[in-house]
Amino acid sequence: MSTPSADMAAFKELLSSSKHVIAVAGAGLSAASGIPTFRGAGGMWRKYDAMSLATYIAFLSDPSRVWQFYHYRREKALAAQPNAAHIALAKFSIESIRKEIAPDATFTLITQNVDGLSTRALEAVQSALPAESSPPSQPQILEMHGRVLDVLCTSQTCGHRVTDPTSPICAALGGTEELVESGVIEPIVDKADLPRCSQCGDLARPDVVWFGELPHHIPEIDKLVDKATLCLVVGTSSMVYPAASYQKKVREQGGKVAVFNLERSQGDSEVDFLFLGPCEETIPQALG
């Protein structure tokens, strides 16, 4: 396998003749917006490995700690703005704009991120344009791991889910986000004071996909991956599955893969293009 090319002109040439493009994004896409990545800072939140908190078992055993982790991430998401990479990907998903760059291409962004910034970027781009003449031929964004501002009732008989942007989501969690920095012993928030379901009053959980849970939109994503001729991999360590498996699948079916990352990531020595640098710079160059 030859080494990946860093020739942006050659990539733009390929993009202009691509038929079915997907982008698989991870936490690095939102880093420039101030959202901590999973493995940045050693993947730690307070003294915990972030990955160990993103599980249902962790929630069952310590809902206070897990809710403080998600309250911290909610507040980060609420304070953040989409960056130039979110905007460039959003513009590329608008058919009238994409046609200038890749006339025959379809495009969907598949994001692992739960911060909602890609959706906010698309809404901002769409509001600045006249309405598209026809609806997009396929979904523009698929948030496969859910959204951190969504909450889900833990009662099996209720299961009410709602987007709740309230800050703080409940009084008892207010102010705990500061404790991350000072590293003080975390408070224990009584279960009764944690977020409750607005329908039945039972304990609510963050409505994100935890490890061991099935990601959203899998059948749709599998179809898009199967027909993809070009896969952009943006700001992900490519260590979480099934998202990490898509680039290899596209390559195996004869498609091309371009990685956009600040540093080397899993599987990137086998790809066609590797653009090392901040994606908030390289993605606007690539899609502009």
Which 8-state DSSP code applies to residue 26? -
Binding residues (CB under 6 A) for ligand BV8: these are 26-28, 31-32, 37-40, 54, 112-114, 145, 208-215, 218, 235-237, 239-242, 261-263, 265, 278-280
- Per-residue tokens: 18: 């691509």
CB of 135 to ligand BV8, least distance (A): 28
Please give the Cα distance from 211 to 233 (Å, whole number). 21
Which 8-state DSSP code applies to residue 86? H
Binding residues for Zn(2+): 153, 158, 197, 200
Residues 55-74 that bind Zn ion (CB under 5 A): none
Binding residues: 26-45, 70, 73, 112-115, 153, 158, 197, 200, 235-237, 261-263, 279
Which residues are CB-neighbours of 169 under 8 A, at least 6 positions away? 71, 74, 151, 195
Should residue 202 be labelled a site residue for Zn ion when binding is judged by CB under 5 A?
Answer: yes
CA distances from 246 to 11, 33, 216, 264 (A): 19, 25, 15, 17
Pick 27 or 89: Cβ nearer ligand BV8: 27
Please give the Cα distance from 151 to 197 (Å, whole number). 8
Q: Which stretch binds Zn ion (CB under 5 A): 15-23, 202-210, 261-269, 272-280?
A: 202-210
Q: Where on the phi/psi map is residue 278: left (φ > 0), alpha (ψ -120 to 50), or beta? A: beta
Pick 46 or 160: Cβ nearer Zn ion: 160
Pick 1 or 214: Cβ nearer ligand BV8: 214
Pick 96 or 269: Cβ nearer ligand BV8: 269
Report DSSP letters for 37-70, one per residue: PSSGGGGEETTEEHHHHSBHHHHHH-HHHHHHHH
Q: Is 160 a catalytic residue?
A: no
Should residue 162 be labelled a site residue for Zn ion when binding is judged by CB under 5 A?
Answer: no
Closest CA to 141 of 118, 112, 116, 109: 109
214 contacts 222 by C-beta, under 8 angstroms: no
Of the residues 71, 86, 145, 217, only one is catalytic, namely 145
Should residue 158 be labelled a site residue for Zn ion when binding is judged by CB under 5 A?
Answer: yes
Please give the Cα distance from 148 to 164 (Å, whole number). 9
Binding residues for substrate: 70, 73
Pick 19 or 191: Cβ nearer Zn ion: 191
CB of 36 to ligand BV8, least distance (A): 8
Using CB under 5 A, pick the residue from 153, 169, 172, 189 that binds Zn ion. Answer: 153
Residues marked active site are found at: 145
Q: In the complex, which residues of this chain contact Zn ion (CB under 5 A)?
A: 153, 155, 158, 160, 197, 199-200, 202
